[in-house]
Structure 1
Amino acid sequence: MVAREFAKNAELTRGRSMVIIGSGVNHWYHSDLIYRAIITMLMLLGTIGVNGGGWAHYVGQEKIRPLDSWSHIAFAQDWIRPPRLQNTTSWSYIHSDQYRYEDLSMVKVAVNPEYEHPVDYNVVAVKNGWLPFYPQFNVNPLRLYEDAVKAGAKSDEEVIKYVREQLAKGNIRLAVEDPDAPENFPRVLFMWRANFLASSGKGHEYVLKHLLGTDNSVMAKEGLIRPKLINWREPAPMGKLDLVVTLDFRMSTSALYSDIVLPAATWYEKNDLSTTDLHPFIHPFNQAIPPPWEAKADWDIFVALARRFSEMACKYLGRVKDIIIVPLLHDTPGELGNRSGPNIVIVERDYCDVYHRMITLGPLVKDSIGAKGITWSAKEEYEEVGKLNGTDEHGHPLLIKDHQVAEAILHLSSTTNGEASYKAYKALSERVGIDLTHIAEDQREVVIHFNDLSYQPRRVLRTPIWSGKESEERPYTPYALNVEDLVPWRTLTGRQHVYLDHEWIIEFGEQLPTYKLLSFKHPSITVKDRASTVNT
């Protein structure tokens, strides 16, 4: 009855039937199938990309509107590319040794699975270059480059060839294949505004036991299922980390377990930016009072660390070449997948210059900035940031104080600079063969500065890095750009799709969002009851 009424309403209103959903579904088994089932229904009813219809998802205030400029500054992509990024789920599951306690056999959830232990699939993904994992190798990547040069490599290409050969021969190994070997331990854990040790890391007791080596309440049994692709070591290591640092203004669980706690300023003691998925405005944090006692603004703490780090690292490291395994990324040809091994690249690091690069905006954004596969030149915006913030002797805009960083983020982003928005739509137009620049034409003169936000929050501008279209008269709705302007969807086919054509997805019978019973027992709920609850 409800389903028919929902569908009839979509028909009569041309798609204005909406499902509002939170993250609770994610806490149940087969959550991916449940999500996809709902999305499939919404697709079939023509509700996607329609104001008042579609999929409204809420998991907290976690939408970074100026994603394009923020991501370049946050991950130092204004100076060095590519960045080192790690998916936390894999890192936590493996380095906290939770894989050693796994009791769910893949035989129970898949048809003739290739592996019984789920961690083996993660290992294969890393070896194929689909996922990242740090540390990368069982040897230091800086030393590995030097070894390649000593062996006769005369170029970066020859170094990459050398690394591939050493991996093939087994002379070096990926760290994910032997994570409990001491040379593959993570040694430093730096937490910034994240309570990793209590909640976000998942598996609190395992983190305490194996990463921190402290009192814990782990009661599960090890070795119920043994992985094939990971070297199993006995006994399991306890206390892998040498240094734990927390930067926070709360005395969180993570701070309580840390060796060093760096006291951060609170909201009214610093300058910062705030955006959310609940509304289309960008807000400022304005410093009402100076940080008390030893507390400092987050940016000031990182700048101070960068200064001291540069002094020490310059003495011991200087300028070196680093080897990075770059995983397959969304919105790149890498999405097509491969089994040819990881994509290895070489980057140069100047450890003497870390502090200088921390407090200045690097020149790489002049040639390329963007997000989600859309890139454009920010040469003019880069020069304007220099005029606003001042420059160093080389013409690099300054990022010494937090308000300068906020100004740079605003001026470079297509969400807060109309000309950058126009460039972004033009770049997407050239990529898809459809003129989209008219969408940004009436906002080209708009530039939002940090001082403007101090007077009042401002509505963000339209930009193709977000798929919605919004204005004073129209609220944001995702995928309007795809539906109304026929921009291809961010999928391999360029269309909305229901079927997932991947051998592992097929192996687990999840290529289509179909009903599934649970395949394991719960201590308080029967499988039948739990499955009914999950799939309702």
Structure 2
Amino acid sequence: MCVGHLGKETDVVTLPIQHDSAAEMAQPLDVKDWKKGECDLIPGKTAPHIIPVERDYPATYERFTSIGPLLETIGNGGERHRLEHQSEMDLLRKLNYTKAEGPAKGQPKLETAIDAAEMILTLAPGNQRSGGGESVASAERDHGREHTHLALNKEGEKIRFRDIQAQPRKIISSPTWSGLEDEHVSYNAGYTNVHELIPWRTLTGRQSLYQDHQWMRDFGESLLVYRPPIDTRSVKAVMGEKSNGKPEKALNFLTPHQKWGYPLDLQR
């Protein structure tokens, strides 16, 4: 429908100032608001990055139903590790087949839910040997240490959609995350930081004892503090106060993972 009305157009998008990138040092001392006249508007420093993006509107459908070429030219990444995906893209061309014609000719198809699942599994750094091995190699380049043994025990293993459809599978240890996927050690955040000497993802590489975000200082929560478990017996007094007619149960559990921090991270 857009042919004759829209072609290749340049759009302007904003990219937030992101952590785990050089931009996290954009305002190291305090956050100023350019809208209030506290500072100048500087893209990537006091305001989001402003980036021109080419939109090929007649090719929208072909782009939405194929895996684009940038994975082969600039790669992929996460948690500061850059991954190259030439071999993974070649594998996806065999698994998902390719577009026969049009602007996405030769690119892996992304037309079904299974195609999408295969793409996620193939590119995940904690999955098959190629992605897991590349993730480990990237970490070795960054840290100057040997981490190959983290993935050696699953060398050559590849997890496909049909595999996890049949039964759950355990992934490969990846420096993207700080836990260890091992038969002898339970998954625990911070394990590889301690035992592999991988730096913590802070500005210094060390564990942070002080959080200087203004909103945390406003709440008086700048210092990391010990949070003892709540006394579950004290909950009995409020149980049933606003009952919905259903049975109630008080739970006391602990998670070693970073689940509670993600919402705060996204809000920030």
| TM-score above 0.5 | yes
Alignment TM-score, normalising by the size of structure 2: 0.70
1:391 corresponds to which of 98, 104, 114: 98
CA deviation string 1:71-127 (max 9, x = no partner)? xxxxxxxxxxxxxxxxxxxxxxxxxxxxxxxxxxxxxxxxxxxxxxxxxxxxxxxxx
1:513 and 1:494 map into 2 onto residues whose CA distance is 17
Is the CA contact 1:421–1:444 (under 8 Å) kept in the aligned structure 2?
no
Aligned residue number for residue 144 of structure 2: 433
Question: In proportion to residue count, which structure has more helix?
Answer: 1
- Superposed displacement of residue 508, structure 1: 5.3
Any idea what SS the aligned residue of 1:345 has? strand
> Is residue 349 from structure 1 mapped to residue 52 from structure 2 by the alignment?
no
- Superposed displacement of residue 334, structure 1: 0.8
> Is residue 359 from structure 1 mapped to residue 48 from structure 2 by the alignment?
no
Q: Please say which structure displays the higher CA radius of gyration.
A: 1
CA deviation string 1:445-466 (max 9, x = no partner)? 0001112223322112211221
> Is residue 413 from structure 1 mapped to residue 102 from structure 2 by the alignment?
no
- Cα distance change on mapping 1:489 and 1:314 into 2, 3 Å: farther
- Cα distance change on mapping 1:315 and 1:511 into 2, 3 Å: farther
- Cα distance change on mapping 1:505 and 1:379 into 2, 3 Å: same
1:372 and 1:450 map into 2 onto residues whose CA distance is 25
Any idea what SS the aligned residue of 1:320 has? strand
- Cα distance change on mapping 1:511 and 1:398 into 2, 3 Å: same
Aligned residue number for residue 380 of structure 1: 87
Superposition RMSD in Å = 2.2
Q: Structure 1: where are the runs of 5+ without partners?
A: 1-311, 516-536
- Superposed displacement of residue 404, structure 1: 1.5
- Superposed displacement of residue 379, structure 1: 0.3
CA deviation string 1:453-504 (max 9, x = no partner)? 2332211221122110022333211111101111110111211112123455
Amino acid at match of 1:397: P
Is the CA contact 2:170–2:181 (under 8 Å) kept in the aligned structure 1?
no
CA deviation string 1:372-413 (max 9, x = no partner)? 221210101101110111111321011111112111211222
Amino acid at match of 1:498: L
2:146 and 2:69 map into 1 onto residues whose CA distance is 29
Any idea what SS the aligned residue of 2:62 has? helix
Is the CA contact 1:470–1:477 (under 8 Å) kept in the aligned structure 2?
no
- Superposed displacement of residue 313, structure 1: 4.1
- Cα distance change on mapping 1:390 and 1:315 into 2, 3 Å: same
- Cα distance change on mapping 1:498 and 1:354 into 2, 3 Å: same
Is the CA contact 1:462–1:469 (under 8 Å) kept in the aligned structure 2?
yes
CA deviation string 1:6-39 (max 9, x = no partner)? xxxxxxxxxxxxxxxxxxxxxxxxxxxxxxxxxx
1:506 and 1:452 map into 2 onto residues whose CA distance is 48
Any idea what SS the aligned residue of 1:452 has? helix
2:202 and 2:3 map into 1 onto residues whose CA distance is 44
Could you say which structure has the greater relative contact order, defined with CA pairs below 8 angstroms and 6 or more residues apart? Answer: 1
Amino acid at match of 1:348: E
2:183 and 2:219 map into 1 onto residues whose CA distance is 46
Any idea what SS the aligned residue of 1:440 has? helix
Q: Structure 2: where are the runs of 5+ without partners?
A: 33-41, 227-268
> Is residue 446 from structure 1 mapped to residue 157 from structure 2 by the alignment?
yes
Any idea what SS the aligned residue of 1:356 has? helix
Aligned residue number for residue 70 of structure 1: none
Is the CA contact 2:87–2:130 (under 8 Å) kept in the aligned structure 1?
no
Number of residue equivalences: 205
Aligned residue number for residue 321 of structure 1: 10
Aligned residue number for residue 491 of structure 1: 202
1:406 and 1:448 map into 2 onto residues whose CA distance is 11
Amino acid at match of 2:52: I
